[in-house]
Amino acid sequence: MIGFIIRVVIAASALAFNVYLFYTGSWGWGITMLLPTAIIWMTFWRNENVIIALYQMRLGKIDKAWKALNRIKAPQFLPKKQHAYVLYLKGMLGLQNDLGYAQCEQLIRKGLNMGLRTKQDQAVANMQLAGICMQTGRKNEAKMLLAESKKLDTKNMLKEQLSTMKKQMGMVASANQMRQAQMHKGRKKTPRKR
């Protein structure tokens, strides 16, 4: 919260200084100060830690991505779309750090419901949710999420991953089969000898 207040004060003073420069006739300095003022104002709509986390995820540096996301102390004060990306990224990184399927699914769904900006990000989120559903034995829900992901993937960037997941769908046990396996501790029941 304190960081947000400081950012507001800096942005307002930069804007006031820029207006003062134009008012006094210092056009050269006023035009020069437009860029820093614009950058300061852009931080209200694009959080630098979210951008760093996305970049680190693309490089495969999960620890650095977590550090960047953990620097955001109060994501509820971010704009709605940025808050959605924080939740989405935490859910995606949680899948790779063994955070737990239930918690990761909850974070990704919450981010998806808040509104991810691009269709490609929505397609990836649906694909990850389908993977979670497959792991937990919810085959029908996984099929619906894969279909939704295919529909959102207009650039066919996820074509290979989606086809691989559809192939794996046939090998996934249903929820009932998973319960039976847990009851029998993973062993098939053998008939009793008489």
Question: Band of the pLDDT at 185, cuts 50, 70, 90?
Answer: low
Q: Tens digits of per-residue pLDDT, 26-68?
A: 888 888 889 988 888 887 777 888 889 888 988 888 889 999 9
Question: Band of the pLDDT at 180, cuts 50, 70, 90?
Answer: low
pTM of the full structure: 0.71
Residue 190: per-residue pLDDT? 55
Is pLDDT at 152 greater than 80 in this prediction? yes
Residue 60: per-residue pLDDT? 86
Nearest to 107 by CA among 122, 121, 125: 125
Q: Tens digits of per-residue pLDDT, 115-137?
A: 888 898 899 999 999 988 888 88
Residue 42: per-residue pLDDT? 81
How far CA 121 is from CA of 48, 78, 140, 149, 189, in Å, comes to: 18, 19, 22, 10, 44
Q: In sequence order, what DSSP letters do the residues of 13-81 get, joined into one string? A: HHHHHHHHHHHTT-HHHHHHHHHHHHHHHHTTTS-HHHHHHHHHHHHT-HHHHHHHHHT-S-GGGS-HH
